[in-house]
Structure 1
Amino acid sequence: MGLVEWWKLRWDSWGLRVVVLISLGLQILLIFLAPLRKRVSTAWITIPIWSAYLLADYIAIFAVGLISYSQGCNISGPFADPTLLAFWAPFLLVHLGGPDTITAFSLEDNELWLRHFLGLGVQCWAVGYAFIQSFPNHKLWIPTVLMLLAGLIKYTERTRALYLASSRKFEDSLLEDPDPGPNYAKFMDEYFSKKNAKLPTSIQMIPEPSKSNKTTNEAEQGLSDLEVVQTAHKYYLIFRGLIADLIFSSAQRNESRDYFLKQTARNAFQIVEVELNFFYEILYTKAKVMQGKYLGYPLRVISFSLTCAALVLFYLVEKKKFHEFDIVVSYTLLVGAIALDLIASLMILYSDWTAVALTKSDTPNWFIEKLQCLLNVKRKRWPENPKPKWFSLKKIMQIVRLRWSESLSQYNLINYCLHPRMGWWEKTIGLFGLTIILDGIKYVNTEDFNSHLRDFIFKELKMKSDLADDLETAKEIFSARGDWILQHEGCINLLDWISKVEFDESLIVWHIATDLCYYSNHSKDEDDDTKLNRELSKVLSDYLLYLLIMESPMLSPIAGKKEQEKKLQEDYEILKVACESILKVNTEVPPITVKGDRSKSVLFDACRLVKELQKLERKQIWMIISKVWVELMSYAAGNCKVDAHTAYLSKGGQLLTLVWLLMAHLGLSDKFQIREGNARAKLIVSK
């Protein structure tokens, strides 16, 4: 027997069985790994999930095709009975429905819901064809029909989840019926009839009563974890319109702004984290479908019951004619389907959605109270201690409780220029367009998002929100990219490096200036506040440059990068020495005067900025730099496309996205209407 014949025989014997089991294995992998997407930003997690997501559909479709072909040609291999093949086919429909934890890998997948709808029809036809071919001697026709119904429910759930998360449908679902207000024609007829009757008549505008805010002491007392989740869900229902680029009313702005101004930084960021978690789940999982009152939980109970009934019926059927291994495969598929349903149900029961639903009523009955106790809805939802540095069980448990990665990627331009790609293998990788991946491994580091940075960002945003009583001022602050804080602090001499250059150029100038100050303007006599501002400035500087270079969908492409590389590669070998040497260059004349417009280098512009900064006191230098970086980040967050923010929810999240949503809650956004539209006209007739 030749090698080809040997492999063909093995494939005919075991190929279909292996493919079916691989399909089940991919479902198990996805249900556990997919939730990590919102918590971990590393490629070591993203790539396996991406691979499993794509393979799960391909493998299931391939297996359905194999079964249909085997049934049509009466080929089932040495072991498998045609009846069992027909019984296995509906399980592949269940697998095509996918786990609850992932329906879309990216936002673009939601737009392909029509393709999945077509696939639903085609795959149901293929499974039905395999089922019909097994007649008239089909011992398992009842459990097969039950599994076919369960598979149809699962696949329909996924298709509907994709449809509801598609951009057009999502936007339509948020649009409320228009409020026409009073009947204008009838109102004016009545008004003129009174006037013609010589009655003293006037029209008075009655403003809509403002909603009272019952949150006076939250900032002093703090919020429990459950209260954070409840508040986040409340504002999620309002601010999910940000995803659809909707405009919000002044009343909504005032209510949200008043509430968040009274919160601590910890509570404010926790609320935003949970809110973004709700955004993630309606866009990338079956959460929207599962939360439906009439089609969510009832259909899940029905599909689970059908699978359990199929297991019982399969157990009762005479199986002497079936091969032992095929019986094991059948039981594995049945138990696997039931186990996946149970795991998905537990995830739903312990989710934030369920916690909100169980605590929505002010007067819960005894059954709701028992459920609250059983599900421990008041449990701690955030880890108390920082993440351990080393991989361990404790670190895994910490990661599971995170709402986003809580890490900031760091990319330093001068460090990159001093350590260029020189190896032949690095150049070879570049030929295949994989340079960005290589740079991510070689030049990108991560820093934890600590409480000092969180408190500092919130303090700055809160200060600006306090000053933004009216929408015109709010929009002025929202559109500032460093110039507002410089004017506020009286540093008018530094405005040239903000207002007279493009955003990406000013970001690079301030990044290089921050590095020059960080490594050359350092003293052991600095007080704690100065040291803290120094470190925070460095972290934000490297983070925003990472976004500019490595995450182009979020920020504009970098400019003038090549000339900076050449200059630094030629002259400097050690980072600190490089910074000190650059500062010795005389920069009295602006570089553009000498080099002209052709040069895109900003290196010596950064030197001139540093020398202006050095005219300030040491403490003031880092105070100004840190505040400028927060404003630059705020500008980037507000001007980043909404699609980019939501896309990165499935990649570990970004601090930039948290700042974007927090700014909207604090009223620092361009998504609020300026004119008040809630007043009502009332006809007043004097006696």
Structure 2
Amino acid sequence: MRSFLWGTYLVATIVVPYSLGKLTGLRIDDPKKPDALYPAVKLKAILAPLLLLRLGYPDTITAYSMEDNQLGLRQVLNMSITVTVVAGILIRCWNYTSFTILYFPMFLAGIIKYVEGVWALKFSLGLNTGITAKEIAGEGMVPRFLDALPKIDGLELVVKAYYRFHCLKPHLEDWIYHPRFISHRQLSIDHCSHQEAFRITEIELGFMYDVLYTKAPVIYMKLGLFIWFVSFFWLVVTLCRFNALPKSILHLDVIMRNGKMGFGAFVYSYQYTKFTFCVLMLALLLVAYQILLLPYSEWAIVKMSKRSNWPLVPMFLQFFAPRSAHKWRQWSDSMYQFNLLHYCLRRDWTRHIKFLNFWGIYDYINWNWSLNRMGPASLPENLKERVWEELKVFEKARRTHPFSKRGEWSFERYSVGTGEEIRRSIETAFDKSILAWHIVTDICYHHHSEEQIFRETIPFKR
């Protein structure tokens, strides 16, 4: 699925410019083409702004990797060139008829969606990496805002996760934040249960994913919502106007210069009319579906919580907040397992196929086989509770000191021997230390399991 999605994402940026290049050959009153094809030419021309609409991408994906966000400024140049090409296609096919009037609303909808996609790319990493006086004043109002929230199940979790993400901004490098806001009573998770702590972290990671790879931060702004409904309005206008046009207008140019109707040309034009209508309807349904999904998001819940005194807003919060906090899951509570020893010691017949080593294909297959061999493992509640208790212990020991310890506290807490070999394993390079302790954990886990089985079977042997 990941490979299919990545391939589709890449192909979309290739197919659309290629299709626009083919459409640049369209022209009304072209002496090289028969007059009977003029209706099809005008119908084909409306596909140009439709392709522009698709370049804006749906709300759920604007980037596939971090590098796409870093190229957001370059997309402005691509957008300018593409919009110019589409405008040239429409101008060449314009002949002041009732049908060509449809080009204008469709063109506006396409430009709006394309600008929205580029804006989302630029917005994800275009924030200032330092904190301003306005942001400090705004964050100072957060505790009072949390105290005034209506008592709705799950609402406080979502809002707390949002403001923790807003203060920390973990997706930005060198972001300067004030830890006193995070340590405040309303934003702190020190006194939360392990279920609430994991759920808040899950929502925070969902916010981070939305910022990096979707349009969520843009479309839930006032300007973003305005752009959404304006583009939807122009799509509705285009479809209604297209459906209301008399069929005689659509096929008027089919009449030959000698006054006779070309039946083949009429059928050709009729098929293009139905095809264009279906494409417009599909584009409208896709946009309408995305609008219906707008309230089913943590972003919408946060925005509605800021307007909780408005009419009908508490009713919407009562419906959406509990479902977001408890039912809509971003995480499946499972993790894939990777055994480094199995990966390094595994030998199979595919290593003898030479062409698999080209571009690292063999390593890629071996890596995925080792990763998927055992499948994802669910994370039980008792393990979540143990992890949460351990984190609180280490946080209490750390206090205000930086994260500079790499195992010393665990050695001291569990009275582990301080031999030279153990000390060397945590004082070496960080990546080597991770690899060493991954192998040690795997060996100790299986060794402990074997000893446990042996102890349980001794009474039966006696």
TM-score of the aligned structures, taking structure 2 as reference length: 0.81
Corresponding residue for residue 311 of structure 2: 366
CA contact (8 A) 1:481 1:498 kept: no
Out of 491, 498, 501, the residue aligned to residue 416 of structure 2 is 491
Instruction: Tell whether the 8 Å contact from 1:358 to 1:372 is kept in structure 2 after alignment.
Output: yes
Higher relative contact order (CA 8 A, sep 6+): 1
Structure 1 residues 515, 132: closer, same or farther in 2, change over 3 A? closer
> Which letter does structure 1 place at the counterpart of 2:282?
G
Query: What pairs up with 1:380-419 in 2 under 5 angstroms?
Result: 381-383=325-327, 401-419=328-346
- For residues 72 and 187 of structure 2, the distance between their equivalents in structure 1, rounded to whole angstroms, comes to 40
Deviation at 1:335, TM superposition (A): 0.8
Partner of 2:437: 510
The superposition leaves residues 454-485 of structure 1 with CA deviations (integer Å, 9 ceiling, x where unpaired) of 2222111111112333x23xx2xx22221221
The residue matched to 2:10 in structure 1 has which SS? helix
Question: In the alignment, which of 29, 38, 41 is matched to residue 82 of structure 1?
Answer: 41
Residue 312 of structure 1, aligned match among 240, 245, 251: 240
CA deviation vs aligned residue, 1:357-385 (integer Å, no higher than 9, x gap): 222245x2333234445x543326445xx
Aligned counterparts, 1:43-192, within 5 A: 45-71=1-27, 81-136=40-95, 138-166=97-125, 169-171=126-128, 175-177=131-133
2:200 to 258, 261, 271: 271
Structure 2 unaligned blocks of 5 or more: 252-265, 457-462
Deviations 1:541-569 (A, max 9, x none): xxxxxxxxxxxxxxxxxxxxxxxxxxxxx
- CA RMSD in angstroms, aligned pairs only: 3.3
Q: What is the Cα deviation at residue 223 of structure 1? A: 9.5
| Residues 526/176 of structure 1: CA separation in 2 closer, same or farther (3 Å cut) | farther
- Tell me, yes or no, if the aligned pair for 2:307 and 2:313 is still in contact at 8 Å: no
Q: CA deviation at 1:338?
A: 1.0
Aligned pair in 2 of structure 1 residues 309, 499: CA closer, same or farther (>3 Å)?
Answer: closer
- Contact in 2 for aligned 1:170/1:244 (Cα 8 Å): no
CA distance in 2, matches of 1:307, 1:47: 32
- Whether the 8 Å CA contact 2:297–2:324 is kept in 1: the answer is no
Partners of 1:527 and 1:80 lie apart in 2 by 85
- The match for 1:449 among 348, 357, 379 is 379
Distance 2:64 2:451 in 1: 48
Change (3 A) 1:409 1:134: same
Q: How does 1:147-546 map to 2 (within 5 A)?
A: 147-166=106-125, 169-171=126-128, 175-177=131-133, 224-240=153-169, 243-255=172-184, 259-293=188-222, 295-320=223-248, 321=251, 323-361=269-307, 364-372=309-317, 376-379=320-323, 381-383=325-327, 401-423=328-350, 426-445=353-372, 446-469=376-399, 471-472=400-401, 475=402, 478-494=403-419, 495-521=422-448, 522-524=450-452
- 3-state SS, counterpart of residue 321 of structure 2: coil
Task: Measure, in 2, the Cα distance between the counterparts of 1:94 and 1:152.
Answer: 7
Using the size of structure 1 for normalisation, the TM-score is: 0.56
> How many residues end up aligned between the 2 structures?
422
Structure 1 302/428 Cα, relative in aligned 2: closer, same or farther at 3 Å? same
| Cα distance in 1 for residues equivalent to 2:94 and 2:434 | 71
AA aligned opposite 1:171: N
2:262 aligns with none
For structure 1, list consecutive stretches of 5 or more residues without a partner in the other structure.
Answer: 1-44, 181-207, 216-221, 384-400, 529-687
Distance 1:263 1:449 in 2: 19
Say if 1:94 and 1:151, in contact at 8 Å, map to a contact too: yes
Q: Post-superposition shift, 1:155?
A: 0.6
Q: What is the percentage of aligned positions where both structures have the same residue?
A: 26
Indicate the SS of the match to 1:299: helix
Q: Distance in 1 between matches of 2:412 and 2:97?
A: 82
- Structure 1 residue 156, shift from structure 2 partner: 0.7
Deviation at 1:352, TM superposition (A): 1.1
Which one-letter code corresponds to 1:481 in the other structure?
A: R
How far apart, in 1, do the equivalents of 2:351 and 2:128 lie? Answer: 50
Q: Report if the CA contact (8 A) 2:182-2:188 is conserved.
A: no
Deviations 1:242-265 (A, max 9, x none): 623223334235327982110111
Q: How much has 1:310 moved relative to structure 2?
A: 0.8
Assess if the C-alpha contact under 8 Å between 2:152 and 2:317 holds in 1. no
Measure the CA separation in 2 of the matches of 1:212 and 1:302. Answer: 35
**Distance in 2, Cα, partners of 1:403 & 1:117:** 32
AA matched with 1:59: V
